[in-house]
Amino acid sequence: MSILVTGATGTVGSLVVERLAAAGADVKALVRKQGKMRFPAGVTEVVGDLTDVSSMRAALSSVRTLFLLNAVTPDEVTQALITLNLAREAGIERIVYLSVIHADRYTNVPHFTGKHTVERMIESLDMAATILRPAYFMQNERMVQQVIQGYGVYPMPIGSAGVAMIDVRDIADIAVMELLRRDRAGAALPRVTLDLVGPEVLTGASAAEIWRSALGREVNYGGDDTAAFEQQMASFGQAWLAYDMRLMMDGIQKLGMRSEDGTASRLEAMLGRPLRKYADFVAEVAAAG
């Protein structure tokens, strides 16, 4: 019996596959097209699509544990609900689902409410699952690295309410711990929900200051104008996604993106090491150019 990883070629999923393989797990990596990326030795590529029922039935066969990660798309909810229903049909009782922090609070943000809908299915059917709720990924900053370095502006309008950004490597490590804990247990384990946050709370101004220190030159916060942010995103991407991200930034400015006190310490106890700091991530990015 194996662990099936969806989103296996993505930022988080590829790390999960790599770490599971290193731990000696029997891993299946779900891909849309075979040969898209090189997986570690022993990992089995499985071609399928989350909305293709027949391919997912085949992918879920001989699977004991499922890591469900699906990208932000217009049919994200459909993808997730179909996959979970098919997992139940296949008798799978060991699931780790990657949701998002405050999925129940950012009610007007499409991909947040979509993930909350999936959480509600898991809860209402009492599925044996770990729901992971990560905050904003540090690695999202790579999308604006050229703007920061080229123009001296930190352009993400995260405001001043505070964002506990988390490194995706920490997300992957915790996901793997939960997958292995469930996969190796003698029976299905109770459902748990974990907020995943970094060790510090950042604002637009403090993020700009960290970049300024790492680069050794002036970097200023670009401000809280989410309409301009949407316009800029839409100029090189899809309009629906740009609007979704704008709504998320509005939520971040109003509500923040942080967990209850003590969450980071509990995560560090699970990992047995400190969580990665934003300044360390920025220093890595700056050094790599």
Say if residue 289's pLDDT is above 80.
no
269 part of a folded domain: yes
Total tally of structural domains belonging to the chain: 2
Q: Is the pLDDT of residue 1 over 80?
A: no
Q: How confident is the model at residue 37 (pLDDT cuts 50, 70, 90)?
A: confident
Residues 77 and 121 in one domain: yes
pLDDT in tens, 55-96: 999 999 999 999 999 999 999 999 999 999 999 999 999 999
Q: Are residues 7 and 120 in the same domain?
A: yes
The model's pTM: 0.96
- Give the long-range contacts of residues 44-49, CB within 8 A, separation 24 or more: 44/2, 46/4
Query: What is the model's pLDDT at position 33?
Result: 87
What percent of the chain lies above the pLDDT cut of 70?
100
Name the residue among 115, 132, 50 with its Cα closest to residue 86: 50
Note whether residue 87 is domain-resident.
yes
Provide the domain limits for residue 278: 154-159+198-288
Phi/psi for 257 (5° steps) reads -145, 80
Is 101 within the bounds of a domain? yes
One domain for residues 174 and 202: no
Torsion 267-271-274-280 (CA) sign: negative
The string of pLDDT tens digits covering residues 11-29 is: 999 999 999 999 999 999 9
For 183-227, the three-class secondary structure string (H helix, E strand, C coil) is: HHCCCCCCCEEEEECCCCCECHHHHHHHHHHHHCCCCEECCCCHH
CATH number at residue 283: 3.90.25.10
Question: Does residue 148 lie in a domain region?
Answer: no
Q: Are residues 20 and 73 in the same domain?
A: yes
Residue 94 lies in a domain: yes
Instruction: Specify whether 179 is located in the same domain as 73.
Output: yes
Q: Is residue 219 part of a domain?
A: yes
Please indicate, yes or no, if residue 118 is contained in any of the structural domains: yes
- Read off the pLDDT band of 203 (50, 70, 90): very high
Burial class (CB in 10 A: 0-12, 13-18, 19+), 94: buried
CATH number of the domain to which 116 belongs: 3.40.50.720
Average pLDDT, stretch 123-152? 96
Same-domain status, 218 and 120: no
**Within this chain, do residues 219 and 111 fall inside the same structural domain, yes or no?**
no
Q: Please check the confidence at residue 134 and state whether its pLDDT lies above 90.
A: yes
